[in-house]
Amino acid sequence: MRRSLGKAHPRVIGVDDGAFRREDRRAPIAAVLLAAPDYVERIRTDQVTVDGRDASVRVIRLVRAVGPLEGVRALLLDGAVLGGFNVVDLDLLYRRLGLPVVAVTRRPPDFARIRAALAKWFPTDAARRGRLLSAHRLFPVPTRGRPILAAAVGCSRADAAHLLRRTTVRGNWPEPLRLAHLVASAGRPSARRIKRASGVRPSGL
């Protein structure tokens, strides 16, 4: 991947969810195809079940809806959850889409609290969700500002870090993810965003 990222405008897809309320059954998600650093080529939107189990299949469908993946270098995700505790299987995405997958987060997850929350709110599915969340070790990525954390599937840590630097325009957050969140939130400007698994409370409760 390093050679392809050396080209003038590598194409990368970013996927994130948007704002939603605790009582919502569905949460919006968006995919943005970006020619780095900042040229938007295509945008697609969909939904996932809040605290559900369909995040992986929905992301696969959404990314394929963006268009032919030939020439796309990687898929970026804002964390490994969408719509609360709807956990994404990073390995499944890599196998089905054939793209390196890099999930990033701003702060270290509190896995002890996450496991306790999963056991409380999802007693029959806690083990599966926990395995997916901890399947890949996070590593720090230096940025122009505060370091971020990433997990990579289908590429080396060095290539993942290079990808994040190539796709960051300002601050320390990749532009495809910043835009994907704005697009996904566009239809719900007044909704409160409740997303991070590190917050440990399922958003639908």
- What pLDDT, on a 0 to 100 scale, did the predictor assign at position 7? 66
Question: Please, which residues bridge with residue 75 across strands?
Answer: 13, 101
**What is the phi/psi pair of residue 183, to 5°?**
-65, -45
46-58: per-residue pLDDT in tens? 999 999 999 999 9
| Domain boundaries, given as residue ranges, for the chain | 2-107+137-190
Query: Average pLDDT in the 19-41 region?
Result: 93
Half-sphere exposure of residue 48: CA atoms within 13 angstroms, side-chain side: 34
- What pLDDT, on a 0 to 100 scale, did the predictor assign at position 146? 85
- What pLDDT, on a 0 to 100 scale, did the predictor assign at position 143? 86
Whole-prediction pTM: 0.89
Q: Check whether 204 has a pLDDT greater than 70.
A: no
Q: Domain spanning 2-107+137-190 has what CATH number?
A: 3.30.2170.10
Euclidean distance between CA atoms 42 and 195, whole angstroms: 24
- What pLDDT, on a 0 to 100 scale, did the predictor assign at position 132? 97
Query: Average pLDDT in the 181-204 region?
Result: 60
Q: Check whether 201 has a pLDDT greater than 50.
A: no
- What pLDDT, on a 0 to 100 scale, did the predictor assign at position 188? 62
3-class secondary structure per residue, 82-103: ECCCEECCHHHHHHHHCCCEEE
29 token code pair: 């998600």
Q: Check whether 4 has a pLDDT greater than 80.
A: no
76-89: per-residue pLDDT in tens? 999 999 999 999 99
Is residue 21 within 8 A of residue 192, CB to CB? The reply is yes
